[in-house]
Structure 1
Amino acid sequence: MNHPSTLSVEAYFDLICPWCLIGKKHLETAIALLERERPDVAVQVEWRSYPLIPATPPAGLPYRDFYVARLGSPEAVAVRQAQVCAAARDAGLTLALDRIETFPNTLLAHRLVRLARQQAGAETAAALIDELFTRYFLRAENIGDPLVLRKAATKCGITIPDQGDASGHRDLDWLPSLWAPEEPLVRTGLGVPHFVFDGTRSVSGARPPAALLEAMLQALARAKQRATRAAA
């Protein structure tokens, strides 16, 4: 059991999901609010990979064609993108959905996040996730491309073994084998973003910071109740 002054957060995400980017920003805002309200509490966030469409071809798919097929029409895509962009603006983000060309397979990117966590810890992994979100949603880069992943890793200070010549740089098969969580996922059909606070309070979706703060405070209250009962 965590010390009463520590709040654990499990954050399930995929890098192709703009709501996960928005949810990450909202979570960071909520944590800052909690720090002001409860400076005695340390928050530990563990980002957990949850690829939504792992069967996407390695080279990706045409972005617009993918979403037209998924949502049914160009008009439906426009409505959805307007909704996402408005929510992103509320979180202080300007998305470049109109410039994205490739809907990527994110398995290599998730492997890289896992490597970052193993090599340098949770903070570096979170920084890499930010970098990948920025490259995809704000700069319209293809985060399924190993060359893009190499640049992101380098920027975040992650050591990548020398692959030899330039063509070898496209081969990241040395990364940990196909993404696998550290423990089995018992939640089938999980929607992301999905946050679990202290193992007791769950929130799905890109909820506003106030809702996440409320969930964190509820989790802390439950932890206090457990500690009180244990001490009785």
Structure 2
Amino acid sequence: MTPSNILSVEAYFDLICPWCLIGKRHLETAIDLLARERPDVTVQLEWRSYPLIPATPPDGIPYRDFYVARLGSPQAVAVRQAQVIAAAREAGLTLALDRIETFPNTMLAHRLVRFVRTQDGAAAAATLVDNLFTRYFMRGANIGDGHVLREALAECGIQSPLEQGASVQHDMDWLPPLNGPDDPPPRAGLGVPHFIFNGTHSVSGSRPPEALLEAMLRALARAKQIATRAVA
């Protein structure tokens, strides 16, 4: 297999961002489209953590209070949520924002995702990311709570020190920090979702699948050009 047959995808996200969930669905659709157009290509997808509000209190804050303070009024919150719900519906997702009571601190969840990626690989981490998105936006669960994270791991069939009685909430020494040597931090001010293809082409925001597919094809074409020059 040549480099021009490999598409690496780095997907920067935060679990509190509904646009990241919508972007994830668009990315999955784009990968399916790519498989039809370029069945010879292998996609290597990595989910990269980018906590948007890491200073959120560990126990979280009331969800509605957070958004009223952020957007200025209950009416503004209602308008924004309607926009998000409509965009999610177009992507085939049904959000239950009215079930969310706590705006969580996602640092622990991101550290757990990184631990799973290191221990079990990218596919297991992607499964956990999907589970946590579902828990937060469809079930209204507090994904900053250690018990919820335990349940997510169990539901995903992922083994970890948690099963040996370690407390996720208070004993986190075994969890690796974010942005280790094999996971360098993205540039400051990055908007999420943010997708980087083969390290050469990027797309920010929850863009339609067609826009993501176009960037993928351009990244593959660029890789082919580089490979051709290397042989010449």
State TM-score, norm by structure 1.
Answer: 0.94
How much does 1:178 deviate? 3.8
Q: Matched residues in 1 for 2:127 and 2:168: separation?
A: 22
2:212 corresponds in structure 1 to 212
Paired residues of 2:194 and 2:205 also in contact (CA < 8 A): yes
Amino acid at match of 1:107: M
Structure 1 residue ranges, 4+ long, deviating more than 3 angstroms after superposition: 162-165, 168-172, 181-184
3-state SS of paired residue (2:195):
strand
* Segment of structure 1 superposing worse, 94-103 or 175-184: 175-184
Output one character per residue of 1:13-50: Cα deviation in whole Å (capped at 9) or x when no partner.
00000000000110000000000000000000011000
2:60 corresponds in structure 1 to 60
Paired residues of 1:119 and 1:158 also in contact (CA < 8 A): no
Structure 2, unaligned stretches of length 5 or more? none
Q: Matched residues in 2 for 1:179 and 1:185: separation?
A: 8
2:175 corresponds in structure 1 to 176
Q: Matched residues in 2 for 1:64 and 1:217: separation?
A: 41
3-state SS of paired residue (1:48):
strand
Output one character per residue of 1:85-104: Cα deviation in whole Å (capped at 9) or x when no partner.
00100111110111100000
Q: Matched residues in 2 for 1:222 and 1:92: separation?
A: 32
The structure-2 alpha-carbon separation of the partners of 1:124 and 1:90, relative to structure 1 and needing over 3 Å to count, comes to: same
How much does 1:119 deviate? 1.6
Q: Matched residues in 2 for 1:163 and 1:170: separation?
A: 14
Paired positions, count:
229
Measured on the aligned residues, the alpha-carbon RMSD in Å equals 1.6
Q: Matched residues in 2 for 1:56 and 1:89: separation?
A: 28
Q: Matched residues in 2 for 1:123 and 1:131: separation?
A: 12
Q: Matched residues in 1 for 2:51 and 2:148: separation?
A: 18
The structure-2 alpha-carbon separation of the partners of 1:164 and 1:8, relative to structure 1 and needing over 3 Å to count, comes to: closer
How much does 1:227 deviate? 1.2
Q: Matched residues in 1 for 2:174 and 2:67: separation?
A: 29
Output one character per residue of 1:193-225: Cα deviation in whole Å (capped at 9) or x when no partner.
000000010100000100000000010111111
Structure 1, unaligned stretches of length 5 or more? none
Amino acid at match of 1:171: H
Q: Matched residues in 1 for 2:113 and 2:60: separation?
A: 19
3-state SS of paired residue (2:98):
helix
2:18 corresponds in structure 1 to 18
How much does 1:228 deviate? 1.4
Q: Report sequence identity in percent.
A: 72
1:92 corresponds in structure 2 to 92
Paired residues of 1:11 and 1:46 also in contact (CA < 8 A): yes
